[in-house]
Amino acid sequence: MSVLTGSVHSSIYDYRFEHGRRFHAYKSGENDYFTPNDEPEQFRLDMQHRCMFLASGSKLFHAPLEAPIRVLDLGTGTGIWAIEVAEEYQQTEVIGVDLSPIQPDWAPSNVKFQIDDVEDEWTWPENNFDLIYSRTMLVGGIKDYRKYFEQAFRHCAPDGYFECLEMTTDLRSDHYTIPEDNSIIRWTTLLKQGIRLMGSNLNVDFNRMTELMREVGFVDVTVKPFKVPIGTWPANPVLKQAGSVQLVAMLEGMEGLSLAVFTRCLGWSIEDTNQLIEQTKQEFTRKKACYYWPG
**Per-residue pLDDT tens over the stretch 127-136:** 999 999 998 6
The number of folded domains in the chain is 1
CA-CA distance, 278 to 183, in Å (whole number)? 10
CA-CA distance, 30 to 10, in Å (whole number)? 18
CA-CA distance, 195 to 198, in Å (whole number)? 5
CB 149 within 8 A of CB 265: no
Which residues have a Cβ under 8 Å from the Cβ of 238 and sit 6 or more positions away? 54, 58
pLDDT in tens, 55-113: 999 999 999 999 999 999 999 999 999 999 999 999 999 999 998 888 998 999 999 99
Q: What stretches of the chain adopt beta strand conformation (E)? A: 2-4, 16-18, 21-23, 70-74, 93-98, 111-115, 129-134, 156-164, 172-173, 227-229, 291-294
Q: Note the pLDDT of residue 174.
A: 96
Q: What is residue 123's three-state secondary structure?
A: coil
The range of the structural domain enclosing residue 219 comes to 2-294
Per-residue pLDDT, averaged over 11-16, amounts to 66
Q: Note the pLDDT of residue 13.
A: 64
Q: Which alpha helices (DSSP H) does 217-269 contain, by range?
A: 237-259
Q: Note the pLDDT of residue 143.
A: 82
As a whole number, the mean pLDDT across the chain is 89
CA-CA distance, 19 to 214, in Å (whole number)? 42
Q: Pick the residue with more confidence: 27 or 101?
A: 101
Its pTM surpasses 0.75:
yes
| 93-98 and 111-115 beta bridge pairing | parallel
The CATH number for 145's domain is: 3.40.50.150
Q: What is the DSSP letter of 214?
A: H
CB 155 within 8 A of CB 132: yes
CA-CA distance, 97 to 113, in Å (whole number)? 6
Q: Note the pLDDT of residue 206.
A: 86
CA-CA distance, 262 to 260, in Å (whole number)? 6
Q: Note the pLDDT of residue 25.
A: 66
| Res 41 pLDDT > 70 | yes
pLDDT in tens, 159-176: 999 999 988 889 999 999
CB 41 within 8 A of CB 35: yes
Report in angstroms the alpha-carbon separations of 175 from 231, 232, 294: 14, 14, 15
